[in-house]
């Protein structure tokens, strides 16, 4: 047994790991001549000062990159270019595009060559440059988030990915996700490990609130959303203090943890003012070239950022003009969405959004959603942050954060001036205890005054009442007598008026009945005339449509039929309407041509296939696709038997459930030339297969 020595500490290596520094290595005669045998390991730096050991498969050489390990923590692209060149990343050899897509989809099969430190568990999400997976730190026994680059052939994306790891790792702030480690896996893909934040993004919260999710509306009122934005402002202000602008602030890049954490994520587009940026050519035209599928996704092209949330100068591609005020604009766009539940510019196309962003066509939140109660102060803060000219915005994130804190404190913001009434209101809300004492004192004084006044009035009233009581008793008898006479006379008059009213009502009833009879007669005559006219027009339209159909004029015939009244459309109309349709229904789910179609015996299901290895099953009454069956080879023949679908690729015959598309049984056909046709008996007990050479199999 040949002992192997570590190139760093020169100790014995057992099972591929150094006993002292735990650095992974491999024998020189292993088969994989493209894999990196020993990755840059931070443990080596602790045991061999500023020394990094890299051993490549297929040779006994080892390279000590003296002093370069410490430079990794700085934002220095040239250093990384040198190191990645020296370890000869596999992407330099080229990777098949289809194979790379398959590898990025099967992230759970990744084997990270990190000396057994990380284990890939499941995919959490993916973006333009990388895939986020849940990983397990084998040494610390904790879950982490691993971000792995997707395209190892694109040097620009690799450099941007490395820059993201560098920037994120340098920004040590409670509201910025910490980076635990950086490395390269055995397939040559750069990755870095971050803290795993369990929770949801701000975009998911806004989506739930927009859909009136009661739980999210209760847990995330406007005051809490503003508090979250203030924490985001703290993180962004910290980054600005370190000379870094984010350039892609949006709700989907703000993670809200289950225990109150607020993390600003995805620093892949961050720009550092202290080091040169990556080689990105910015277009200054009004119609920039972009590659994202939707305007809410980060653009990966000449214009970097997310159109919904990027500033006008960023949308124009003026990279050299971007500064902290560009991030202020993005924070204003996020605040605008917190208030209105929609972005400042809402459109379906990227060109539309970018055009309106560049022109500054943003309406105030209260105009955008007039039925939603929006605080004037927050609307003013959002509009100031979204100013078209950078000079008109907040000049720094702390200024904007200060106004948000003033709003939560009930004070006046710098974005708008309050009137006297609003100032009094703010003072009352801010000094509730003092105002309550003043109000209580005023109420007590008013009550004492009112009670004294009422006591005086009551005494005078009692004296006046006693004096007038005698006069009142004297007048009561006369008034009662006059009242009785008046009531008797009134009753007599009421009786006469009731009799007169009854007589008039009877006359009006008879007159109304006569008028009603005349009206009903006129309505019947008018209805008869109208129905006769409509019926004549209906038959004329049917005749015209019949004539047009005989001349193959389908569209004019359909127009003639559509002009007929709905209530007169009988079976003859439906027959002509069916004749005007060139087809009943069209399914467009297939990619490529459709070569085979079959229908079940009960006329309820249809199966079709094309040049690809996919068979689609439809439910004819509802015209819905109910199953998709993927095959290993192109389909040759198919037919329905009872409730199953028989599919043959010429070599094997599969029996599938026609409802779910599940494979029930697979049978091997006779080892002859590929069968291309299949038929079944009426009772479904017999299947016959045939080919062009005359072979028939039962």
Within a domain: 112: yes
- CA angle, 301 as apex, 295 and 302 as ends, to 5°? 105
Looking at the structure, tell me whether residues 444 and 349 fall in a common domain.
no
Per-residue pLDDT tens digits for 381-402: 999 999 999 999 999 999 999 9
Within a domain: 140: yes
Looking at the structure, tell me whether residues 656 and 561 fall in a common domain.
no
Mean pLDDT value of segment 635-650: 83
Q: Work out the pLDDT band at 288, boundaries 50, 70, 90.
A: very low
User: Does residue 95 sit in helix, strand or coil?
Assistant: coil
Mean pLDDT value of segment 291-296: 45
Looking at the structure, tell me whether residues 570 and 602 fall in a common domain.
no
Residue 575: predicted pLDDT = 84
Looking at the structure, tell me whether residues 99 and 27 fall in a common domain.
no
Per-residue pLDDT tens digits for 664-674: 888 887 764 45
Among 220, 236, 259, residue whose Cα is nearest residue 341: 220
Query: Pick from 196, 219, 246: which residue ends a domain?
Result: 196
Q: Is 80 exceeded by the pLDDT of residue 75? A: no
Within a domain: 6: yes
What's the pTM value of the predicted model, to 2 decimals?
Answer: 0.48
Per-residue pLDDT tens digits for 398-438: 999 999 998 888 788 887 655 555 666 665 666 677 778 88
How many other β-carbons are positioned within 10 Å of the β-carbon of residue 147? 27
Beta-ladder partners of 94: none
- The per-type count for the chain, helices as H runs and strands as E runs, is 18, 26
First-to-last alpha carbon distance for the chain, in angstroms, is 61
| Mean pLDDT, the chain, integer | 76
Query: Two tokens at 541?
Result: 């339209």
Q: Which of the residue ranges 184-193, 254-263, 353-362 would you say has the lowest mean pLDDT?
A: 184-193
Looking at the structure, tell me whether residues 146 and 158 fall in a common domain.
yes
- Residue 291 maps to which CATH number? 1.10.510.10
Mean pLDDT value of segment 24-48: 32
- Residue 163 maps to which CATH number? 3.30.200.20
Among 182, 228, 221, 227, residue whose Cα is nearest residue 201: 228
Residue 84: predicted pLDDT = 37
Residue 631: predicted pLDDT = 82
H/E run at residue 269: none
- CA angle, 341 as apex, 337 and 345 as ends, to 5°? 55
Looking at the structure, tell me whether residues 503 and 615 fall in a common domain.
no
Within a domain: 533: yes
Among 28, 76, 10, 72, residue whose Cα is nearest residue 275: 76
Residue 112: predicted pLDDT = 54
Mean pLDDT value of segment 61-73: 32
Looking at the structure, tell me whether residues 390 and 403 fall in a common domain.
yes
Looking at the structure, tell me whether residues 162 and 237 fall in a common domain.
no
Can you tell me the distance from the alpha carbon of 648 to that of 637, in angstroms, rounded to the nearest whole number? 5
Mean pLDDT value of segment 14-30: 40
Q: Is 90 exceeded by the pLDDT of residue 184? A: no
Q: What is the residue range of 6's domain?
A: 1-71
Instruction: Give the C-alpha distances (Å, rounded to integers) separating 363 from 304, 333, 360, 450.
Output: 24, 12, 9, 53
Within a domain: 85: no
List CB contacts of 206: < 8 A, sequence separation 6 or more. Answer: 251, 337, 338, 341
Helix, strand, coil fractions of the chain, as percent rounded to 5: 45, 20, 40
Residue 21: predicted pLDDT = 41
Per-residue pLDDT tens digits for 307-354: 999 999 999 988 888 999 999 999 999 999 999 999 999 888 888 999
User: Does residue 607 sit in helix, strand or coil?
Assistant: strand
The percent of residues above 70 in pLDDT, for the chain, comes to: 72
Q: Which of 135-149, 271-285, 550-564 has the highest mean pLDDT?
A: 135-149
Asked if 167 and 75 count as a contact pair (C-beta separation under 8 A), the reply is yes
Query: Pick from 429, 444, 462: which residue ends a domain?
Result: 429
Residue 459: predicted pLDDT = 85
Looking at the structure, tell me whether residues 454 and 537 fall in a common domain.
yes
Query: Considering its fold, how many domains does the chain have in total?
Result: 5
Residue 303: predicted pLDDT = 67
H/E run at residue 54: strand 53-55
Per-residue pLDDT tens digits for 509-557: 999 999 999 999 999 888 888 888 888 888 888 898 898 888 888 888 8
- Residue 598 maps to which CATH number? 2.40.128.630
User: Does residue 161 sit in helix, strand or coil?
Assistant: helix
Residue 37: predicted pLDDT = 27
How many other β-carbons are positioned within 10 Å of the β-carbon of residue 95? 16
Mean pLDDT value of segment 78-83: 37
Asked if 687 and 654 count as a contact pair (C-beta separation under 8 A), the reply is no
Total number of residues shown for the chain: 698
Looking at the structure, tell me whether residues 424 and 452 fall in a common domain.
no
Within a domain: 88: no
Can you tell me the distance from the alpha carbon of 51 to that of 10, in angstroms, rounded to the nearest whole number? 13
Asked if 3 and 15 count as a contact pair (C-beta separation under 8 A), the reply is no
Looking at the structure, tell me whether residues 179 and 204 fall in a common domain.
no
Query: Pick from 196, 229, 247: which residue ends a domain?
Result: 196
Residue 43: predicted pLDDT = 33
DSSP state for residue 413 in the 8-state scheme = P
Among 643, 645, 640, 637, residue whose Cα is nearest residue 697: 637
Q: Which residue has the tokens 């309820």?
A: 604
Within a domain: 681: yes
Per-residue pLDDT tens digits for 587-639: 877 777 888 888 888 888 999 987 778 888 998 888 888 888 888 878 788 88
Looking at the structure, tell me whether residues 99 and 62 fall in a common domain.
no
Within a domain: 84: no
């Amino acid at each position: 047994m040949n002992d192997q020595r570590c190139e760093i500490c020169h100790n014995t290596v057992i099972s591929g790991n150094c006993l002292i520094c735990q650095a992974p290595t491999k024998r020189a005669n292993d088969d994989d001549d493209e894999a990196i045998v020993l990755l840059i390991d931070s443990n080596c730096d602790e045991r061999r000062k500023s020394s990094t050991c890299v051993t490549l498969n297929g040779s006994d050489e080892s390279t000590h990159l003296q002093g370069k390990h410490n430079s990794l923590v700085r934002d220095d692209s040239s250093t990384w270019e040198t190191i990645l060149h020296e370890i000869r990343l596999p992407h330099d050899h080229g990777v098949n595009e289809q194979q790379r897509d398959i590898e990025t989809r099967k992230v759970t099969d990744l084997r990270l060559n990190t000396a057994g430190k990380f284990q890939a568990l499941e995919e959490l999400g993916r973006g333009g440059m990388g895939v986020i997976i849940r990983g397990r730190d084998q040494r610390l026994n904790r879950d982490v988030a691993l971000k792995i680059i997707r395209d190892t052939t694109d040097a620009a994306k690799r450099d941007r990915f490395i820059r993201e790891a560098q920037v994120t790792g340098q920004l040590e702030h409670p509201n910025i996700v910490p980076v635990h480690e950086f490395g390269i896996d055995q397939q040559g893909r750069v990755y870095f490990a971050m803290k795993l934040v369990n929770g949801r993004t701000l975009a998911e919260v806004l989506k739930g609130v927009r859909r009136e999710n009661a739980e999210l509306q209760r847990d995330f009122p406007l005051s809490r959303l503003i508090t979250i934005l203030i924490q985001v402002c703290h993180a962004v202000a910290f980054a600005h203090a370190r000379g870094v602008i984010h350039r892609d602030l949006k709700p989907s890049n703000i993670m809200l943890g289950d225990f109150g954490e607020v993390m600003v994520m995805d620093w892949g587009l961050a720009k550092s003012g202290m080091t040169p940026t990556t080689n990105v050519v910015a277009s200054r035209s009004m119609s920039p070239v972009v590659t994202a599928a939707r305007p809410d996704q980060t653009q990966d092209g000449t214009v970097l950022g997310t159109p919904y949330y990027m500033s006008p100068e960023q949308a124009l591609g003026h990279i050299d003009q971007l500064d902290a005020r560009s991030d202020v604009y993005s924070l204003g766009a996020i605040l605008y969405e917190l208030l209105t539940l929609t972005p400042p510019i809402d459109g379906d196309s990227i060109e539309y959004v970018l055009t309106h962003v560049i022109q500054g066509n943003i309406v105030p939140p209260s105009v955008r959603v007039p039925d939603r109660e929006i605080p004037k102060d927050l609307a003013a803060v959002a509009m100031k942050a979204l100013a078209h000219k950078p000079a008109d915005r907040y000049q720094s994130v702390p200024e904007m954060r200060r106004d948000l804190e003033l709003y939560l404190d009930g004070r006046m913001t710098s974005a708008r001036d309050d009137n006297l009434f609003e100032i009094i209101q703010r003072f009352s809300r801010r000094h509730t205890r003092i105002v309550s004492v003043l109000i209580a004192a005023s109420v007590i004084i008013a009550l004492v005054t009112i009670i004294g006044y009422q006591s005086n009035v009551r005494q005078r009233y009692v004296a006046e009442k006693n004096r007038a009581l005698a006069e009142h008793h004297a007048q009561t008898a006369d008034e009662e007598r006059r009242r009785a006479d008046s009531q008797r006379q009134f009753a007599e008059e009421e009786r006469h008026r009731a009799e007169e009213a009854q007589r008039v009502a009877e006359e009006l009833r008879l007159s109304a009945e006569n008028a009603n009879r005349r009206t009903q007669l006129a309505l019947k005559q008018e209805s008869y005339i109208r129905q006769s006219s409509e019926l004549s027009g209906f038959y004329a339209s049917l005749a015209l449509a019949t004539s047009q159909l005989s001349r193959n004029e389908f569209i004019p015939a359909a127009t003639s039929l559509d002009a007929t009244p709905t209530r007169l459309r009988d079976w003859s109309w439906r027959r002509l309407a069916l004749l005007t349709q060139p087809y009943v229904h069209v399914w467009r789910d297939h990619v490529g041509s459709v070569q085979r179609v079959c229908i079940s015996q009960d006329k309820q299901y249809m199966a079709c296939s094309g040049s690809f290895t996919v068979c689609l099953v439809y439910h004819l009454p509802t015209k819905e696709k109910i199953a998709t069956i993927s095959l290993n080879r192109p389909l040759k023949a198919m037919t329905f038997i009872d409730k199953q679908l028989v599919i043959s690729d010429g070599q094997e015959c599969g029996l599938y459930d026609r409802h779910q598309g599940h494979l029930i049984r697979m049978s091997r056909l006779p080892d002859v030339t590929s069968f291309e046709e299949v038929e079944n008996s009426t009772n479904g007990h017999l299947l016959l297969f045939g080919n062009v050479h005359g072979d028939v199999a039962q």
